[in-house]
Copies of this chain bind each other. A is one copy, B any other.
């Protein structure tokens, strides 16, 4: 009797072979957190580590998608195969990803060296970054040289995507009021490269000056994030942006650059989610009693957190 063919192994092989239909199916499988998806990722893990992962984030209206679009073109000119994961919250109307911005990327729709996928989050913000990390694994295994993850600039996705990206580009619009000013400050820490987009508008110079002033106050020995002015609609500055990505790739100082570390961070986030939901669920009488203790002021937050971990079995070192 013939052994039954292993559909997971076959699908993994097709992904590694860069079969576009297999890649699309694989991303759907890992996005749904199905058993098939988990087994598939497991089969792909040993094939990871080739891709350079680039996170592109920034506030709404900054022109991220248009910039990603021209960046794809620039990397293609340099002979790289480019995968793109666009992290979009799902729309209850479409039942899937909202197209919108994605439509602008059809420039590359017929190029075999480009694979673009917009992720549906199935209504759960926290799940977005998990899906993104898994989709990155698939594109990495499929041999893409560059994988761009574009986050929409809302929710916790930036922070967790920053965790898995080698190089993080923060796209700043030239000026959108005080909120953007605040955002710029808040994401300083996760930016490896700043792109001041729409830099043909009058406010761009001010934005660039402000960013440089902020950066000049930080002592960063290994890498000072460059501030690059771009006009995504014309492609101006995109060559410089791609150069900056390559230059940042040469530094390699960040421990996150290793694929083992990338996998480990995904695991750490999953484990943290598990612990959070066990503590929040009201099933455990010991945890219920602990919450009352906290309420009565008999323990402080930190003591309560360590005790909750003890209840779950984790001792404080």
Residues of B within 8 A of A59 (CB): 59-60, 153-154
A247-284: which have CB < 8 Å to B? 255, 259-261, 263-277, 279-280, 282
Tell me the minimal C-beta distance from A31 to chain B in angstroms. 13
A126 to B101 alpha-carbon distance, docked (Å)? 28
Closest to A180 in B: B60
A209 to B302 alpha-carbon distance, docked (Å)? 46
Judge whether A267 and B294 touch: CB under 8 Å: yes
Judge whether B156 and A155 touch: CB under 8 Å: yes
Tell me the minimal C-beta distance from A213 to chain B in angstroms. 7
What is the count of identical protomers in the complex?
A: 2
Tally of chain A residues near chain B (CB < 8 A): 98
Residues of B within 8 A of A177 (CB): 60-61
Choose among B214, B259, B276, B279 the residue that contacts A91 (Cβ–Cβ < 8 A): B214
Judge whether A301 and B218 touch: CB under 8 Å: no
Judge whether A214 and B259 touch: CB under 8 Å: no
Residues of B within 8 A of A264 (CB): 279-280, 287, 291, 294
A82-118: which have CB < 8 Å to B? 88-93, 98, 100-101
Judge whether B189 and A38 touch: CB under 8 Å: no
Closest to A89 in B: B186
Judge whether A92 and B214 touch: CB under 8 Å: yes
Residues of B within 8 A of A295 (CB): 45-46, 48, 259-260, 263
Judge whether A294 and B45 touch: CB under 8 Å: yes
A292 to B296 alpha-carbon distance, docked (Å)? 45
Choose among B89, B266, B315 the residue that contacts A182 (Cβ–Cβ < 8 A): B89
In the complex, per-residue mask of A139-171: 1 if CB is within 8 Å of any chain B CB, else 0: 000000000000011111011000000000000
Q: Which residues of A contact B (CB under 8 A)?
A: 38-39, 41-46, 48, 59-61, 64-65, 88-93, 98, 100-101, 121, 123-126, 134, 152-156, 158-159, 176-183, 185-190, 213-214, 217-218, 255, 259-261, 263-277, 279-280, 282, 287, 290-292, 294-302, 304-306, 308-309, 312-315
